[in-house]
Amino acid sequence: MYSEKVMEHFSNPRNVGELENADGVGEVGNAHCGDIMKIYLKVENDVIVDVRFKTFGCGAAIATSSIATEMIKGKTIDEALQLTNKAVVEALDGLPAPKVHCSVLAEEAVKAAIEDYKNKQSKK
């Protein structure tokens, strides 16, 4: 039911944890399944130099957060904003239909963290 990529990211998730003094933090949840995803960003000169995630959720949510962090690391803020849940699903070689919302959570968490970063920047 799950692709090898999903299983691999679920068993060996990348960039797990928190970042102290993160420049942006985004937390989103899905009211339906109750899963929660949090993403921390470290940004230098508009480039995401480091990223971590904490996901209290299903295996697919862990796999989508893991791959999403890899996809935005080293990218500019504008590039990271282009990340779609569709791209996350493609990068994982697909997700079963009932699990597509987990990838939406990953897109939303990245966007929420960037929004937080932008808010903090505008207050500087």
Instruction: Using CB under 6 A, list all residues that contact ligand FES.
Output: 30, 33, 35, 57-58, 60-61, 99, 101-102, 105
102 is catalytic: yes
The active-site residue out of 67, 83, 88, 102 is: 102
- Which residue, judged by CB position, is nearest to ligand FES in the bound state? 33
Residue 43 or 58: the one with the smaller Cβ distance to ligand FES is 58
Q: Read off the DSSP letter of residue 16.
A: B
Burial of 8 (0-12, 13-18, 19+ CB in 10 A): middle
Query: Under 8 Å CB-to-CB from 16, ≥6 apart: which residues?
Result: 52, 53, 54, 66
Residue 2 or 40: the one with the smaller Cβ distance to ligand FES is 2
58 is catalytic: no
CA 78/CA 46 separation, integer angstroms: 8
The active-site residue out of 7, 16, 19, 33 is: 33
Q: Annotated active-site positions, please?
A: 33, 102
